[in-house]
Amino acid sequence: MIGPNFQEMRRLMVEGQLKGRGVSDEKVLAAFSKVPRERFVPEDYQQNAYDDYPIPIGNNQTISQPYMVALMTECLALKGEERILEIGTGSGYQMAILAEIAGEVYSVERIEELAKYAETVLSSIGYENCRIKVGDGTLGWEENSPYDGIIVTAGAPNVPKSLIEQLKDGGRLVIPVGGGFSQVLTVVEKKGKSITSRDICGCVFVPLIGKEGWSD
């Protein structure tokens, strides 16, 4: 029996879901054309890996819709070589996309089982510029700060102060902010003492649970 043609599914996803909706950053499109998303979803969902919606990854968590991952990555406006922090490793897919574009990628995940699985998949593919830590990502990962960019892949009630503190001057923080059921994708920029933020679009994420997020 012939298996699914993931390469072709990936190409169609990039053309239709990303380019078709206005994602135009060549680095982002190249990363999506390369990363094997089917490796980051549970075996039962491999056929659906390139579908236009989030997929369950266990522990009541999801791998986000490809378009949302692309939009958030594009919002960071990466040039390459940056040091990036992700909060919410989940499957590790967003991390792989970032690892294709940036210099170093750090990620914090509160659920140990997910962190371990993501680490295994990322190293089996050969990513050497990724480090994952189990913990409360609302507090960031101070040891490696400051970061050129921070991306939060869970919905927060407010922008965590610790994350703004760990952002480099001139850096960007991309985060869904709002209620428990829907949020607004927000880009926060730090320039000297000035912190500005702009809204991108509505979105729906699982909650960011932690000291500077929602309570468990």
How far is 190 from 58, CA to CA, in rounded Å? Answer: 35
**71 is a site residue for ligand SAM (CB under 6 A):** no
CA distances from 81 to 13, 14, 86 (A): 26, 24, 16
Closest to ligand SAM by CB, 17 vs 91, is 91
- Among the listed residues 73, 91, 162, 186, the single contact to ligand SAM using CB under 6 A: 91
What secondary structure does DSSP assign to 140-195, as a single string? --GGG--EEEEEE-SBBSS--HHHHHTEEEEEEEEEEEE-SS-EEEEEEEEETTEE
For position 153 contacting ligand SAM by CB under 6 A, the verdict is: yes
Say which DSSP state 209 is in: B
If binding is defined by CB under 6 A, does position 119 make contact with ligand SAM? no
Residue 160 Cβ, how far from ligand SAM at the closest point, in Å?
9
CB of 133 to ligand SAM, least distance (A): 9
Rule CB under 6 A: is residue 66 a binding residue for ligand SAM?
A: no
To the nearest whole angstrom, how small is the minimum distance from the Cβ of residue 192 to ligand SAM? Answer: 28
- The C-alpha atoms of residue 168 and residue 157 are separated, in whole angstroms, by 23
Report d(CA 142, CA 104) in Å as an integer. Answer: 15
Query: Residue 108 Cβ, how far from ligand SAM at the closest point, in Å?
Result: 5
Examine residue 111 and tell whether it contacts ligand SAM (CB under 6 A): yes
Interface with ligand SAM (CB under 6 A) = 61-64, 87-88, 90-91, 93-94, 108-111, 114, 136-138, 153-154, 205-206, 208-210, 213
